[in-house]
Structure 1
């Protein structure tokens, strides 16, 4: 709710994420990506309402491979928990950090301002990894190195860090627990290209037989580097869900908005998507992208369902042009 107005920040977002997989959730700022991550961890404002389910199943999942959906979250973990209905005590004591890790979009708001980075790493190592005092110093430095955080800055306070260093500190903290599900919300903000690559490579290494990664990003190059699949969000809805190889290669995105995002890259056509996204408080009844789409017609007055991985009445079917040399 905002000023008495109901805002549907995320609607009917359903997608799978198997253990051992990285799914990249991409889209323009304000489309609802970070709201989705906050909902899964119970970090939405008090006046927010959620519906549906996001389930972490019991460890005896039949086939040992668990899918994630924003309608359900299924990963190989100890006890079954519905993240959208769990109480704060359960989320704080058994979920956050232990079963679902978070690399936050705004690390400065998540780091404790009156404690050094080293102190926060050591506390997290004690709580989540069981590291004892004689080994804490070395373990904290190893955790920092994992996220490319320089050891010489470990004894600094959050306000003494640049945005990029704060981001790396938050990444180091998130990786400590080796949580079955890691939510990385814009983890490369403020980093140069080399550090972007190093950071997403480390996040990818987190993925294993019983661990998965949801990468929330507007950096398509980072998504292409590590994602197995790509989900494109527009105006609070998933409009395309496909394999990363098909998205970045051939046949390319089928939804006009998804294709526009990809074609906006400098190495592609370097052409921006025309127009602006609609206000989430005033979404049209039909396709929210219709006003910006050159393929729209009367059929687009009806809301398209996500069918065959694309929510569009007139999806592209042709092969995407190869990148320019």
Structure 2
């Protein structure tokens, strides 16, 4: 709360993620995506306040105490693939020791030989090469650090994987391999069990590759929630901001969204995207609610709808 002001970083966010499903949460930097991830894990700053519910089974993550989060949630019920994974690894310890410690804490495995074997098995699940297990974080490439973080996230077989910008700094081939690995561990196994994946990303190509649904966040709010095949294909997204994000891709129009995102502490009245939107009218001075799949007064129509109901009746 700079200067004593209270800033709402995330507001009125509503979504669910089912086992075996990947929901991609996308949006420009600063829109509140990583704040949401921190809230789910109980990692917000001490002066932050939360309201509402975030249910993981019968547990409300927003009201759970630190003891519960530390002992039963982090690693066990939520596996985290953090942004900038190398920064989350202890620099003086090898990847093997990281994995062995995590295996011991989450599975109860004991004994040097058993832990060594379990660490190698954990590395193999994330396609981390065994020949690099005895390296320290600074000796790893960005892709290997990412795989090490993925291996750590998978150790506890958590029902929810939370990947916060898992492809930052990777080249395209490594992006594809990383998200494919996450997707593989989300899909149902032979017993019909799968994990849910919440992938927070600004990489729309990665989202298109693995997501089942897409949630678009702007200025701390969800402005669109759609099936991935509709969002990335036909008929496409309905919110003007969502369309702008797609049109900014190099393989599309390669045209950036005009203007800059607003400061969360200085949002305009009504629709926060209105100052950047070519479809804005005076109506946009009131805040649109998420109705169905889109929060917009003037969404793009789908082919089976009409933009002018009066003309349709005529």
**TM-score scaled by structure 2?**
0.90
Q: Distance in 1 between matches of 2:197 and 2:9?
A: 22
Unaligned runs of 5+ in 2: 304-314
Q: Distance in 2 between matches of 1:146 and 1:210?
A: 15
How many positions carry a matched residue from both structures? 297
Q: Aligned residue for 2:54? A: 54
Shift of 1:93: 0.3
Shift of 1:26: 0.4
Given that 1:240 and 1:306 are in contact with CA atoms closer than 8 Å, whether structure 2 keeps it comes out as yes
Specify the SS of the correspondent of 2:238.
coil
Q: Aligned residue for 1:85? A: 63
Alignment of structure 1 residues 1-325 onto 2, 5 Å: 1-57=1-57, 80-133=58-111, 134-207=113-186, 208=188, 209-318=193-302
Shift of 1:88: 0.4
Shift of 1:145: 3.3
Q: Aligned residue for 2:309? A: none
Given that 2:7 and 2:264 are in contact with CA atoms closer than 8 Å, whether structure 1 keeps it comes out as yes
Given that 2:226 and 2:293 are in contact with CA atoms closer than 8 Å, whether structure 1 keeps it comes out as yes
Q: Distance in 2 between matches of 1:311 and 1:259?
A: 13
Shift of 1:132: 4.1
Specify the SS of the correspondent of 2:163.
strand
Q: Distance in 1 between matches of 2:293 and 2:17?
A: 14
Shift of 1:139: 2.8
Structure number with greater Rg is 2
Distance verdict in 2 for CA 1:106–1:47, change over 3 Å: farther
Q: Distance in 1 between matches of 2:91 and 2:6?
A: 34
Q: Distance in 2 between matches of 1:82 and 1:311?
A: 26
Given that 2:27 and 2:201 are in contact with CA atoms closer than 8 Å, whether structure 1 keeps it comes out as yes
For residues 96-137 of structure 1, the C-alpha deviation after alignment (integer angstroms, 9 at most, x for no partner) is 000011111132342223322110101112222344432322
Specify the SS of the correspondent of 2:4.
coil
Shift of 1:318: 4.6
Q: Distance in 1 between matches of 2:133 and 2:233?
A: 41
Shift of 1:169: 1.6
Q: Distance in 2 between matches of 1:141 and 1:149?
A: 9
Q: Distance in 2 between matches of 1:193 and 1:131?
A: 37
Shift of 1:157: 2.4
Given that 1:167 and 1:190 are in contact with CA atoms closer than 8 Å, whether structure 2 keeps it comes out as no
Specify the SS of the correspondent of 1:313.
coil
Unaligned runs of 5+ in 1: 58-79, 320-325
* Pairwise CA RMSD: 1.6
**TM-score scaled by structure 1?**
0.87
Specify the SS of the correspondent of 1:280.
coil
For residues 238-294 of structure 1, the C-alpha deviation after alignment (integer angstroms, 9 at most, x for no partner) is 000000000000110100000000111111111110000000011112000000000
Given that 1:148 and 1:199 are in contact with CA atoms closer than 8 Å, whether structure 2 keeps it comes out as no
Given that 2:22 and 2:212 are in contact with CA atoms closer than 8 Å, whether structure 1 keeps it comes out as yes
